[in-house]
């Protein structure tokens, strides 16, 4: 069953916007997705009708808000097929989730000289927290490289793994190259050596059916805003045994069991990792977004985005001077490109004037740019509400820019 894109588009009010008098073509979905009315309304409804601090209140509103927040946790658990809600920790997003693991897991499980393996195509969010760990603990960062097509050189993993490897942290889908990485295979290999794996699911969660138990991931992290949910809410999935084994990340309310000035005991999972008032408005709106995606069907969304990607690549390859960055056989719904010697900033500026929103620059993955010897790319990333007609508008925009820059 295909998608009824026209009907989906009606659910996203911002898509009706005109930019410089032209219809908005929103191709910056890998940065953040637009929100359907139901999510926006859920946020308002939370503040209008269901706002009270959760977990501690005995009054009606507090209990109602608590139930909604915990129902959202169950909703997330179901969405990624985690074994239990104790394994679902709400964070501010992917970045905070990785920092949590780098801090709680890293500080407790790593000693000087121990090693963390990341891939060469990671977002800075999955590099810098490990470098901070390196500064604190004297760990080493090892890098699994990719080839000229943007495919991870998996055969090198064996030689990178040593008896000092403590964790492998890897993106499920690259935000720059679009490559879908074989994380299941990587996890299987890592587990042969008893090494846990953290998967950065920021780009995969809106495009791929994620089953953390099938993947056997030890940690899986993602952001709500990339899957049509609100900003400021994200998820850390962690296997219970890991979350039990590692210490709290931040201290404060909510995460404690008993506090005296002599000693504090910590609350049980998942609350141990949720210090302070949680974003219960965000969590409930995220649940609404996940319901919206469920209703349309993640497989349908994936199929639609793959069709858009193939259409875009076929059409765009006819443009003189077109160079795609990232040619892996398995890719998510984004295309990174350069045209002749036109600087991505110049291309992005002209496309913007035509109402087309794309991302330009290094996409917070500078090592990827260094590998290709470029400063940046133009990136068009697709979502369920995008259409082939919009890709035609992008095509015309690129051609227009090409002429303007005399290419």
Contacts to other proteins by CB under 8 A: 20, 342-346, 349-350, 353-354, 360-361, 375-376, 400, 404-406
- Tokens coding 78: 């179901």
Characterize the bridge pairing of strands 88-91 and 234-238.
antiparallel
CB of 205 to other proteins, least distance (A): 27
CB of 362 to other proteins, least distance (A): 8
CB of 361 to other proteins, least distance (A): 5
Q: Of 133, 195, 134, which Cα lies nearest the Cα of 170?
A: 195
Q: Which is nearer to other proteins, 127 or 351 (CB)?
A: 351
- Tokens coding 99: 């920092």
Please tell me the distance from the alpha carbon of residue 15 to that of residue 73, in angstroms, as a whole number. 30
CB of 312 to other proteins, least distance (A): 23
Q: Is 38 a catalytic residue?
A: no
Angle between helices 280-296 and 37-49 (to 10 degrees): 150
Catalytic site residue from 38, 50, 110, 364: 364
User: CA–CA distance from 124 to each of 8, 200, 338, 364, 385 (Å)?
Assistant: 33, 11, 22, 6, 28
| Ramachandran sector of residue 271 (left: φ over 0; alpha: ψ -120 to 50; beta: rest) | alpha
Characterize the bridge pairing of strands 356-357 and 25-26.
parallel
Angle between helices 94-109 and 128-137 (to 10 degrees): 20
Q: Which is nearer to other proteins, 35 or 359 (CB)?
A: 359
CB of 376 to other proteins, least distance (A): 6
Q: Which is nearer to other proteins, 259 or 404 (CB)?
A: 404
Q: What is the CA radius of gyration of the chain?
A: 22
Q: Which is nearer to other proteins, 45 or 375 (CB)?
A: 375
DSSP reduced 3-state for 25 = strand
Q: Which is nearer to other proteins, 230 or 344 (CB)?
A: 344
Q: Which residues have a catalytic role annotated?
A: 364
């Amino acid at each position: 069953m295909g998608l009824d894109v026209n009907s989906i588009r009606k659910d996203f009010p911002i898509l009706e916007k005109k930019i410089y008098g032209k219809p908005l073509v929103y191709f910056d979905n890998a940065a953040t997705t637009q929100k359907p009315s139901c999510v926006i309304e859920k946020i308002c409804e939370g503040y209008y009708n269901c706002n009270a601090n959760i977990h501690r209140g005995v009054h009606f509103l507090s209990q109602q808000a608590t139930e909604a927040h915990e129902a959202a946790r169950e909703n997330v658990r179901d969405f990624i097929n985690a074994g239990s809600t104790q394994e679902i920790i709400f964070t501010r997003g992917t970045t905070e989730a990785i920092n949590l693991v780098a801090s709680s897991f890293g500080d407790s499980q790593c000693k000087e000289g121990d090693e963390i393996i990341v891939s060469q195509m990671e977002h800075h969010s999955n590099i810098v927290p490990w470098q901070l760990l390196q500064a604190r603990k004297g760990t080493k960062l090892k890098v699994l490289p990719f080839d000229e097509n943007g495919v991870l050189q998996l055969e090198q993993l064996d030689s990178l793994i040593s008896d000092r490897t403590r964790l492998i942290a890897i993106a499920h889908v690259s935000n720059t190259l679009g490559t879908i990485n074989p994380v299941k295979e990587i996890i299987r290999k890592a587990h042969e050596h008893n090494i846990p794996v953290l998967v950065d699911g920021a780009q995969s969660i809106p495009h791929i059916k994620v089953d953390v138990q099938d993947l056997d991931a030890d940690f899986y992290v993602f952001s709500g805003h990339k899957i049509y949910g609100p900003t400021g809410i994200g998820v850390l999935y962690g296997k219970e045994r890991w979350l039990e084994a590692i210490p709290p990340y931040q201290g404060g309310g909510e995460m404690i069991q008993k506090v005296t000035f002599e000693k504090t005991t910590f609350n049980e999972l998942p609350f141990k990792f949720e210090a302070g008032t949680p974003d219960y408005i965000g969590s409930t709106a995220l649940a609404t977004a996940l319901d919206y995606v469920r209703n349309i069907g993640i497989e349908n969304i994936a199929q639609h985005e793959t069709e858009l990607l193939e259409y875009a690549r076929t059409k765009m390859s006819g443009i003189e001077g077109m160079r795609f960055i990232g040619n892996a056989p398995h890719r998510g719904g984004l295309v990174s490109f350069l045209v002749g010697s036109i600087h991505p900033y110049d291309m992005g500026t002209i496309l913007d004037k035509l109402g087309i929103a794309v991302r330009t620059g290094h996409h917070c993955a500078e090592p990827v740019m260094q590998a290709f010897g470029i400063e940046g790319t133009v990136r068009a990333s697709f979502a369920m509400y995008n259409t082939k007609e919009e890709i035609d508008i992008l095509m015309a925009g690129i051609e227009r820019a090409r002429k303007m820059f005399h290419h």
